[in-house]
Amino acid sequence: MNEALTRTSVERLIEIPAAAGGVFGAHQLDVFGNAFYLIDCTGEIEIQTDLSPFKTYRKSTGEEFPIEQAFSRLEFLNRGAAVTIRVWAGWGRYIDRRFEMVEALTKGKGWDAEAQEIPANDHIDFVPVTGNGVISRKSIIITNLDPNENLRLEDTDGNTFLTVFARTSITLPLSDTIRIANDTGAAISCNVGQINYVEGNLITTAS
């Protein structure tokens, strides 16, 4: 049976050696098809078919030829350091359904008050502020600077969920309002900072 008529496809993980001594790294893959796609690639690689010249490809790139230009082999040429590739080759078009969420850009912001302290027998609420380029809070960082006394963290209903011990720092991935409570008879000094997501987030596909 003519293998080209079966319209199968293959996926291979291939390590192509580095160029050395003036000789380029090379590999040949015998496969029938009219399309190939680099699912993954640790660098740049040159690829040619038995009917087309060498051309440089990178991760998430490939080629689809008309059926009449179907190939019977792929040849890989590496002019630099060793490269590992995952290549698909066959008929039709490879549909890359992977996606990668790239985390939004972040920016640190400190407490706006002049005196960094929680008053005696009182609390301070830290409300996340959005707008002006801020998407949301990523996390809040609290350092209790007091050598002896502890601070309590509460939700907006007054329920305690965490203690910040003396001379201790904590980082919480909370985007909601957070309350820092001081049950002692004296003010407690602390540092409070927030890491905010800012505009510039990106979602890339097939990466």
Q: What residue segments make up the domains of the chain, in order of their start?
A: 3-96, 102-203
Q: Residues 154-172: what's their mean pLDDT?
A: 93
Distances in whole angstroms, Cα of residue 121 to Cα of each of 151, 180, 187, 190? 11, 11, 8, 15
pLDDT at 116: 87
pLDDT at 1: 40
pLDDT at 3: 47
pLDDT higher for 186 or 128?
186
Cα gap 129→176, rounded to integer Å: 10
72 pLDDT higher than 90 = yes
147 pLDDT higher than 80 = yes
pLDDT higher for 100 or 25?
25
Cα gap 146→175, rounded to integer Å: 26
Write out pLDDT tens, residues 111-133. Answer: 877 678 999 999 999 988 888 88
According to the per-residue pLDDT averaged within each range, which of 86-100, 112-126, 157-171 is highest?
Answer: 157-171
What is the pLDDT of the chain when averaged over all its residues? 88
Cα gap 10→69, rounded to integer Å: 18
Cα gap 38→61, rounded to integer Å: 6
Tokens of 57: 């490809």
Write out pLDDT tens, residues 17-45. Answer: 999 888 999 999 999 999 999 999 998 99
Do the domains 102-203 and 3-96 match in fold? yes
Which CATH fold topology does 3-96 show? Jelly Rolls (2.60.120)
206 pLDDT higher than 90 = no
Burial class (CB in 10 A: 0-12, 13-18, 19+), 168: middle
Domain 102-203, CATH among 2.60.120.1540, 3.30.1330.180, 3.40.50.2300, 3.40.50.300: 2.60.120.1540
CB-based contact 193:107 (threshold 8 Å): no
